[in-house]
A and B are shown apart, each in its own frame.
Chain A
Amino acid sequence: MKILVDEQLGLPIIRNEKAPQTAWKLREKLLLGLSPSDYRRALINNPVNWFLALVLLVGLPLLAQRYLFGLQAITHGSQDYPWGIILGFGLFGMVPLSASGFLLSTAVEIFDRKDFQPIERLALLNGLLGYFFAVVFLLVDLGMPWRLAYPMFVSFGPAAVLFLVAWHVATYLSVQIAEMLPSFSEWADTPAIKKFIKKIALGLTIAGIILSTLHQGALGALFCYAPAKIHPLWISPEFQWIHFFCSSIFAGLCMVIVVSSLIRRFMTWRCDRNFLDNLDEITIGLARGASYGLITYFIIKIVAIAHDQEWLYLVSGWGLYYLLEIVLAVLLPLFLFSYGVRHRIMGFLRWGSVIAVLGIVWNRLNTVLITYNWQHQQEIPHWKEVWVVITLLSIYFITYRFILYRLPVVFTWKQE
């Protein structure tokens, strides 16, 4: 696969010093130091962009259809499956994968693990974008997206779990924006912002921990509203919030491993030595953390079955499916991590992370969609709904890449 810009074409911008007699800002900061025509050429030469264009070409009209003719136009509009794949993937899948921000800022800011510092900003960015796009997915799925802020300002149902989720996600999104501001301020050359954020960094981090614990858990607790509709193996009212919270820990860590590996492979030119040289050690550290998360998760899954006396369900068809999920999505990455960490096999750690990331999404889809209404007929999402999900994911990817190319996330901004 090709990268967007060949090294010899332009200079990656890593400092605020301005070369004499050149136009600043646009060319340097947005076009990566390329002239507009070179930039366009680089865009066109990249096959990934062609793929993205194809997805958007079909996807954007589908989105327009949704906003003009209602959800029915792109989904089955099922009364029995109120939450489809848009929410199942976009909210319930994206949010645990975005736990990275609070995990890494806790490690660095609270536990003083400076060895994780080179990846802290990437983890924060991953968190911020994940949450932001979870809200975007929500805006597509909500019946009245224009009322998104109602639970904050207009009408309150404070005892509802979703009320907590709404408030916490909104607050946490602002916390994450604040945490990303230092990179932005370096790029935009406004050092005052960075200084201010540094002062409140500890407060932001602790707020992040509280809000994350609560809303990751709350997303699980949402399913406690349907104790009789979801298959008992996937719902355990007492433990659901812990299951969701605990799985978000390894999900977030694994997502960082996946993203950083991809960056190292396909965006090497943008990384600096600090990032590249430390990445292996960091990956091992993250994988170690993730395996603690996985083993805890595995144990509390078993505890939940024991507590709810659900052993018999395990020998049914659904039970086998459940065991399949546990083996593939929990035990397999756990094995890959423990073996990979001990013998320093980076491939095991990377692939283990990919599996764990997919496994979490699978688990969330199982809860929202597949085992929901398990005694009744299955809902198979409309192709348009699936395409919309892929479209939003592509926009997520484009935004992610756009920011990584420009802001000092995987490289250090040179100080004057």
Chain B
Amino acid sequence: MKLRVNRRTFLGSMVSAAASLFVGQTAENASAHDFTGYESSKGVLVDLSRCVGCRSCEAACNKEQGLPEPEIGFDDLSIFKQTGPDGKRRPDDKAYTVVNAYDPPLLDHPLFRKIQCNHCLEPACLTACFVNAYTKTPEGAVVYNADVCVGCRTCMIACPFSIPAFRYSSAFHPRIMKCIFCYDSRLSKNLPPACVEACPMEALTFGDRKTLLRIARNRLREHPGRYVQHIYGEFEAGGTSWLYLSPVPFADAGFDMHVPNQPIINYVKDFLAVVPMVLTIWPGLFAGFYLLSRRSGKAAIQPPQPEDSSDENTGR
């Protein structure tokens, strides 16, 4: 028995040495995701208590990004009655941002909420994409490169806010459609995105994420009655560049409260850690099994003898 174990371990260590070439790389990749965002990351603070549901931001976004003309105009407020498959509208391949109306029990008037990509600090979409189509820029935007995207739609599965949308209607130019923080035209020039500029109520504030967090805390402190004491996006999904304040519990404003506080990639790390182990241990282990089962003289099991397949049963 002792001999067997020795032989196996010996073989194992030999093969694992060879395999470590592979593994070094894998381990590095897994750890490359201990990343907590850029220092200078910009963001937007959305104050739901100030939003009046005028949809100026939707219109501005549509224009800035050259998106198709909507069926229902931006000044038509009947849109708030419109329901998608999930009851409420969501950003899709024709709109990077939508404003929805909610009727929280604590208010006697509707509450409006703007939805768009939250530009996570550790974006799930980015970490799930197998061709690296997403980039988190130092300014904080999460941008997408349609030239390498394969259209597997894992990013849509991974995004905890269900933001990326796919242009299913095109056979030859399908792509992911999602808010890019107006990166090309504005953010990269240190300008606020079009929606922020268009908001007449100053419900959207653009700035350094750190500054925005301070502003948000100030508002919570100065008007404790006006807000629930929570900044949505401070920790959700590992932290997002877009932050929200709300006068009612966030769940009543349609926020998904199941979004975990850690980045989505953390849920996958367990598996990523297994990869190098399998790569190192398996070859030695099974080569060992191979040797063991050949040397132990298993005469008990008689191979079935087909008439002429002589070379099939010679073993190796």
Binding site for B on A (CB under 8 A): 66-73, 75, 77-80, 82-83, 106, 109-115, 117-118, 142-145, 147-148, 150-151, 154-166, 198, 201-202, 205-206, 209-210, 213-214, 217-218, 220-229, 237-238, 240-241, 272-274, 277-278, 375-377, 379, 412-415
Known contacts: A160-B128, A198-B316. The answer to whether A224 contacts B271 by CB under 8 A is yes
Known contacts: A110-B290, A415-B308. The answer to whether A72 contacts B168 by CB under 8 A is yes
**What is the predominant secondary structure among interface residues of chain B facing chain A?**
loop
Residues in chain B near residue A379, CB distance under 8 A: 85
Q: Are A150 and B150 in contact, with the CB atoms below 8 A?
A: yes
Q: Are A155 and B158 in contact, with the CB atoms below 8 A?
A: no
Cβ of B198 within 8 Å of any chain A Cβ, yes or no, is no
A148 to chain B, nearest CB (A): 7
Q: Are A144 and B150 in contact, with the CB atoms below 8 A?
A: yes
Residues in chain B near residue A158, CB distance under 8 A: 25-26, 29
**What is the predominant secondary structure among interface residues of chain A facing chain B?**
helix
Complex Cα spacing A82 to B164, Å: 10
Q: Which of B26, B32, B86 contacts A377 (CB 8 A)?
A: B86
List 17 contacting pairs A-B, 8 Å CB cutoff, sorted by A.
A115-B301, A143-B174, A145-B151, A158-B26, A160-B154, A162-B154, A209-B282, A209-B286, A218-B271, A221-B268, A222-B157, A223-B157, A225-B158, A226-B157, A237-B268, A277-B304, A412-B306
Q: Are A110 and B154 in contact, with the CB atoms below 8 A?
A: no
Cβ of B196 within 8 Å of any chain A Cβ, yes or no, is no
Complex Cα spacing A411 to B160, Å: 52
Residues in chain B near residue A240, CB distance under 8 A: 271
Known contacts: A111-B293, A157-B132, A278-B304. The answer to whether A72 contacts B169 by CB under 8 A is yes
Known: A111-B289, A160-B127. 4 other contacts (CB 8 A): A115-B304, A144-B149, A157-B130, A274-B307
Q: Which of A162, A241, A412 contacts B312 (CB 8 A)?
A: A412
Q: Are A412 and B308 in contact, with the CB atoms below 8 A?
A: yes
Complex Cα spacing A106 to B285, Å: 12
Q: Are B282 and A415 in contact, with the CB atoms below 8 A?
A: no
Complex Cα spacing A147 to B133, Å: 13
Cβ of B313 within 8 Å of any chain A Cβ, yes or no, is yes
Known contacts: A80-B85, A83-B153, A118-B306. The answer to whether A71 contacts B287 by CB under 8 A is no
B250 to chain A, nearest CB (A): 15
Contacting residues of chain B (276-316) with chain A, CB-CB under 8 angstroms: 278-279, 282-283, 286-287, 289-290, 293-294, 298, 301, 303-304, 306-313, 315-316
B95 to chain A, nearest CB (A): 11
Q: Are A71 and B271 in contact, with the CB atoms below 8 A?
A: no
Complex Cα spacing A323 to B169, Å: 39
Q: Are A80 and B90 in contact, with the CB atoms below 8 A?
A: yes
B145 to chain A, nearest CB (A): 8
Cβ of B275 within 8 Å of any chain A Cβ, yes or no, is yes
Cβ of B52 within 8 Å of any chain A Cβ, yes or no, is no
| Stretch in B222-230, B238-246, B253-261 touching the partner | B253-261
Complex Cα spacing A113 to B130, Å: 39
Q: Which of B29, B85, B128, B279 contacts A78 (CB 8 A)?
A: B85
Cβ-closest chain A residue relative to B284: A206
Complex Cα spacing A205 to B87, Å: 51
B90 to chain A, nearest CB (A): 7
Q: Which of B92, B268, B303 contacts A117 (CB 8 A)?
A: B303
Cβ-closest chain B residue relative to A66: B171
Contacting residues of chain B (85-119) with chain A, CB-CB under 8 angstroms: 85-87, 90, 92-93
Q: Are B25 and A210 in contact, with the CB atoms below 8 A?
A: no
Residues in chain A near residue B270, CB distance under 8 A: 221, 224, 237-238, 241
Known contacts: A114-B304, A115-B304, A227-B260. The answer to whether A69 contacts B171 by CB under 8 A is yes
Known contacts: A154-B131, A376-B86. The answer to whether A110 contacts B151 by CB under 8 A is no
Q: Are A143 and B166 in contact, with the CB atoms below 8 A?
A: yes
Known contacts: A71-B174, A142-B150, A160-B154. The answer to whether A80 contacts B308 by CB under 8 A is no
Residues in chain B near residue A66, CB distance under 8 A: 171
Q: Are B283 and A162 in contact, with the CB atoms below 8 A?
A: no
Q: Are B168 and A377 in contact, with the CB atoms below 8 A?
A: no
Q: Are A415 and B170 in contact, with the CB atoms below 8 A?
A: no
Q: Are B256 and A228 in contact, with the CB atoms below 8 A?
A: yes
Q: Are A222 and B304 in contact, with the CB atoms below 8 A?
A: no
Complex Cα spacing A9 to B314, Å: 36
| Pairs of residues from A and B, 9 with the lowest C-beta to C-beta distance, nearest first | A143-B151, A77-B168, A114-B303, A274-B306, A221-B271, A82-B153, A82-B156, A225-B158, A163-B130
